[in-house]
Every structure is written in structure tokens, then in C-alpha cells.
Amino acid sequence: MTAKEKILNNIKGLQLPSKAQPLVPIFEGLSDDKHSFFLETLETLGVEVIISEDKAALAQLVAERAEEGPVYSSISELGYTNTLENTEMADLNLSVIEGELGVAENGAIWIEGDALTERALTAIGSHLMIVLPYQKVVWNMHEAYTYVEPRQSGYGVFISGPSKTADIEQSLVKGAHGAKSLTVFIQK
Amino acid sequence: MSTQYKNHPAGAKAFNKNPERVSWHDKALWFVREKRDKATHGIPEWEELREIAAQIKAHTLSHLDKYLLQFEEQAQANGIHVHWAKDAQEHNDIVLSILQKHNVKNVVKSKSMLTEECGLNPHLNQHDIDVVDTDLGERIVQLAKEHPSHIVLPAIHKKKEEVGELFHEHLNTEKGATDPTYLTRAAREHLRDKFLQADAAITGVNFAVAESGGFVVCTNEGNVDMGANLAPVHIACMGIEKIIPKVEHLGVFLRLLARSATGQAITTYSSHFHKPKDGKEMHIVLVDNGRTEQLSRDDFRKSLNCIRCGACMNTCPIYRRSGGHSYTYTIPGPIGSILSPGKDLKKHSSLPFASTLCGSCSDVCPVKIDIHTQLYKWRQIIMEETNYDPAKKLSMKMVGKAMGNPKLFKMISKVGNTFLKGPRVLIYNPLNTWGIKRELPVPTQTFDDWYKKNNS
């Protein structure tokens, strides 16, 4: 008998009484203003937030940051490299990627990993910038999963803030393995 | 995998040799517990979420065979290789064979309590494969040749001075350096090299979704997104109880997990893997290792609800004051103490007694495991079936006799009262553990006298 058969037979043999699957409601928001809640959450997560109605502002901002070091961008209009080798990725100072959906309750932003040249670009650059349209914010995770279809992208990730750790005496340090800082550029 | 102590009292005694450290450890964990409280109080539907989560788990466990098969079918359709392992040995062999097939020499691993449970690292090391734990806390305990003392905060027992020493020795940091930012950055650089050189990545799994055939791993550091995405081969190892039926259920569990664990609203990275990148390989190993046996036990089935948040450890007055290494099982604290007796009743017989049965663990559990009730039930079984602590057995028998005999009880309580009023040396001596480091109250009357006076 294979391990699979043994495991499944063990379970079947128990003939456990069936328990009902609960319905999961999409709960209410946590205040009257979803967007200000989202922005406040990002602030407590140590995220730099820029809100702009001007499309040129993003290009200008990225151009300024490009003076500090190599930039990757999944937004082709910005004109930065989007094909990279592993070693080049490790030298990136900034990755600019697009966010699909923001979640107000926890500040998490959904990233479609396969929209990027390499999946590791969600974590490997020293700094990360996520560009998110203002309208694409939901209240909570229940609502988020009515839009997000993780199976459609082979890899996707909710990112909420810069990479961090508190493994040394519970002292919070930003920049563990992933980005040392996160900038969220919200396009109105 | 277990710690060096033969039972919990021995481990707790060793930890308590340094009272300052005990107090520091206690406070560090209570701080995390308080953050958890604050985070949960911000969610009006918190209790409803716990109830829904418990129901999803109960439902899944009642159809576990069906959901495992559905998961396998969907994962294979996504291009993921699925493996089944009855026990730790099979799990280790499967992982080794995948690595050998690809001629892997360097593996980066992100936090996985399952691979700790199975003793994977030593197995791979024996076959000349280098395994680097990449979670900072896990890397610290790996360099110290220890095991995690907590499932979410693996190095919570370590002082920054000790981390500084370790890093000086292994990562060439400055001698005497203790600044957490400096040390973390040094580890970042050291581990970046490992990520870039790795031939394969091994990760754990927080949730595997039957309907979509993918899985989610949660970290704050981003080590999963670095490791699994850079290496050509990704192996994810999971206990079979990590299955949930639907994608929408992720919404429930991701809201509960980080708030319960550290008081964060969500972890920094909640990484969803469904398909390998073109030209790369993704494997999942489904591991039983005693779980179907636990599933067969009516009284203990619910322990399989566990989502490994660690909230029961942070709140436990015994865990906080005895440290994770005092437990004889990979998973310490209250949850470990109800999971482990089912694996080896004799070896872990002291663990269900490492509790005051205060019930705080059950109160904070996000999936409503009745932990303290299960601890109590394991105690009954252990006293029946093993020779655990014969002195306790004898004294309990005597107490039972005295309590059942009013005349005897009255006499003993009178004598007891006299004792407590008598010379201190009779109470405060090394033979009486109840008198160590505390003052016992001196009653002014016996319960019987009090009852007669107040019940008229």
C-alpha cells in the first residue's frame, strides 16, 4: 500500500460524522472612511505614502530615486529595465511595481507576481515602490478575495510594509530580507 | 526532535536558575500577548471570526480525505508535484530524493515547524547537503546549535549579547556589538549570498487550498519570497491538517493569524503559490506523521485545528516562566503539550502537567481549541497508563481518602492550621516546594468553622 492509500484509508476508516461548512459573511468596514483608514494603517506600518493626481509626478519621483542606484520597473512607460539576471536583481536599489488591490484594515496590497519579469522582484530590491490606483481599495480580506484570484497568477503576494523582523530581543528592525523601505504611490 | 531535558520539571528548573532571565522572558512574551489583545479588540467581529474558523476546521477534518484528494488533483493540474508521506522518515526520504535528483548541494529553508518535527536538517546534512535556515530567529538558533524555543519567535530566549557573540564568531561582526539593527543587517547580507547561491528552497505551509490547488506562506522578513522565487526548485512541506476548502477561507484565517501571533493586522508578506514559474519545479509533501491517529481520538481531534500562531504560548504562565526548551517536544507550550502525548505518551508524560489549567490558552486560541480541557484529559490517561510521578499518584490517593472522610479531614485541617502558625522551618524548608519563594497565608479559622458560622 502506498503512503497515500494508507493515509486516506486511515481517514476513511474513522467514518467521522460530517460537520457543516459555515457561510463566511463579508463583514462591515471599521469606520466611515475606507481611504483614510487605509492611509492611517500604512502610516503605522512605516510606509511612505504619496498621493498624486499628476501622472508625471511618478516619473519624476522615480527619476529622482534612480540617482541613488539601479531601478527596475514593471511599468514600461517609465522606461527602466525590466529584464534582469539574478545577480543584477541583487544590486537593485529600487523596484517599482504595480499593486492590484489595497486592503484598508491591514494595509496589505495585492501583487500579481507573474506580471513581473522575475517573481523575486517583490522582495529583492533594497527599496520597493508600489503604484496603486486610488479606487482600488477594499475594506477587509473577505472583500479582497472576492476580487483576488490567486490561482490566476502562479505566484501572488499581499505586501504590507517594508520587510521586518523582531527576532533579536523583540526590537523591530526594518529590512530583514526584503525591502528596507516601502513607498506606496497612490494615483488619483 | 527534542530538547536535552528528560521532563518539563527538569527543564523548568534549569531555566529558573537565573531568575532575572525568567522575569525578562516572562515580560517579553506578555508584551506580545498585550499587543494581541489590542489588535483583536479593534475587530468587532473577532469572536464571530473565531467561531467561523473553528467551524471551517471542524468541517474540513470531517472530510479530510476528500479535501486532500481535491487538493492533489488541483495542484497537479497547476503543474505542482504532490508527494505523500506516512511518517517523518518517509518525508525526509522524499525531500532528499528530490534534492538528489537535481544534484542539490545548497538549500535555503524558511520557517517550518514540520521539518523540525521530522528532523529534516540532520538527515540532509548526513547526505552532504547544506541547509541554511533563513528566518533570522531560526538562523540564530541554528548557529547556536539549538532548536527554536517558540514557534513564531524562535530565538525569544536569546539575549542580544548572545546573538552578538554568535554573529561575531560566524558572520564576522564586530566583537561586543549588540545593536539589533546592526546585527540584523549583517544577517541580511550573509543570507543574501545564501539565497543567490541556493539550488533549492524548502518552505513550510500555513494554508493549502483544496479548490485552487495552491498554498499560502506567511512571513514578515520576506525570506520565502526570496528563497522560493530565486531557487530553481521549491519544496513545500505541510502537515495534512493545513488544508482548507476554499480561497475565501483564507480571508478568515489571514485575519486571525497575525493578530493572534504578534498583534499585527497581517504579516508583511502573505505569499500565494499556485504554479511553478516556467522552467522551475514546485513540490508539495503532504505529511501524516501521527495526524490521522490524532484525528481518530474524539477528545483530542480538535487539536488539529491549530494554525501555529503561538498565542497559547505567549499567554501561558508556565511557558513564560519555564521557556520553550523546557518542553520535551518540538512544539512547546500548551498546544505542544496536547499534541505530543499522542505521539509518545511516556516520553511526553510530564507536559500536560506543565499547566495551571487556568484556561487562558483556550481563551486566546483563534480556532477555539479547548486546550486546557485536553490537558486535563491527557492527565487522566497518563495517570492510568503510565507510571508518571508515583509520588503524585500516592499523595493524590491520600488526599482523596482524607477528603472523603469528614472526621479525618477535620483533624487534618486543624493540624494544618497549627503547622502554619508553628515554627517557620516546618514550612519553609527545601522539602516543601509550596514554601519556596513565597509566603503561605496563615488562616485564622478552619473552613469547617467558617462554614458553620456563616451558614446559620
* Rounded CA separation A157/A147 (Å): 14
Q: What share of chain A is helix, strand, coil (3-state, %, to 5)?
A: 30, 25, 45
Angle at alpha carbon of residue A89, lines to B185 and A118, rounded to 5°: 120
The answer to whether residues B417 and B285 belong to one domain is no
Tell me the CATH number at B261.
3.40.50.10420
Q: Which domains occur in chain A, in start order?
A: 29-187 (3.40.50.10420)
Q: What is the DSSP letter of B243?
A: E
Considering only the beta carbons, identify the residue of B86, B160, B271 that sits closest to A7.
Answer: B86
Beta bridge mates, A132: A186
Identify the domain boundary among B251, B270, B289. B289
Q: Is residue B442 in some structural domain?
A: yes
pLDDT in tens, chain B (456 residues): 445 799 999 999 999 999 999 999 999 999 999 999 999 999 999 999 999 999 999 999 999 999 999 999 999 999 999 999 999 999 999 999 999 999 999 999 997 999 999 999 999 999 999 999 999 999 999 999 999 999 999 999 999 999 999 999 999 999 999 999 999 999 999 999 999 999 999 999 999 999 999 999 999 999 999 999 999 999 999 999 999 999 999 999 999 999 999 999 999 999 999 999 999 999 999 999 999 999 999 999 999 999 999 999 999 999 999 999 999 999 999 999 999 999 999 999 999 999 999 999 999 999 999 999 999 999 999 999 998 888 888 888 888 888 889 888 888 888 887 877 778 887 888 777 777 777 888 888 888 888 888 986
Q: Is residue B21 in some structural domain?
A: no
Angle at alpha carbon of residue B160, lines to B155 and B166, rounded to 5°: 80
Q: Is residue B11 in some structural domain?
A: no
The residue behind cell 514540520 is B114
Angle at alpha carbon of residue B269, lines to B263 and B275, rounded to 5°: 140
**Nearest chain A alpha carbon to B152:** A167
Identify the domain boundary among B289, B318, B340. B289
How many domains are contained in chain B?
A: 2
**Nearest chain A alpha carbon to B54:** A22
Q: Is residue B198 in some structural domain?
A: yes
Q: Is residue B95 in some structural domain?
A: yes
What is the domain extent for residue B198? 61-289
Q: Is residue B116 in some structural domain?
A: yes
* Rounded CA separation A117/A84 (Å): 7
Whether B40 contacts B259, CB under 8 Å: yes
Q: What does the DSSP assignment read for A57-111? A: HHHHHHHHHHTTS-EEES-GGG--B----HHHHHT-SEEEEE-SEEETTT--EEE
Q: Is residue B20 in some structural domain?
A: no
Q: Is A7 on the interface with B (CB under 8 A)?
A: yes
For helices B64-77 and B46-62, what crossing angle results, to 10°? 90
Contact A90 B181 (CB under 8 A): no
Whether B3 contacts B347, CB under 8 Å: no
Query: Using a CB-CB distance cutoff of 8 angstroms, which residues of chain B are in contact with residue A11?
Result: 64-65, 68, 292, 295
* Rounded CA separation B55/B52 (Å): 5
Could you tell me the CA-to-CA distances from B375 to B308, B358, B390 in Å, in that order? 17, 11, 19
Q: Is residue B392 in some structural domain?
A: no
Considering only the beta carbons, identify the residue of B209, B220, B226 that sits closest to A164.
Answer: B220
Roughly how many angstroms between the first and final C-alpha of chain A, as a whole number? 60
* Count of A-B CB contacts under 8 Å: 255
Mapped onto helix, strand or coil, the DSSP state of residue B344 is coil
Identify the domain boundary among B260, B289, B318. B289
The answer to whether residues B413 and B275 belong to one domain is no
Contact A169 B134 (CB under 8 A): no
Q: Is the ipTM of this complex over 0.90?
A: yes
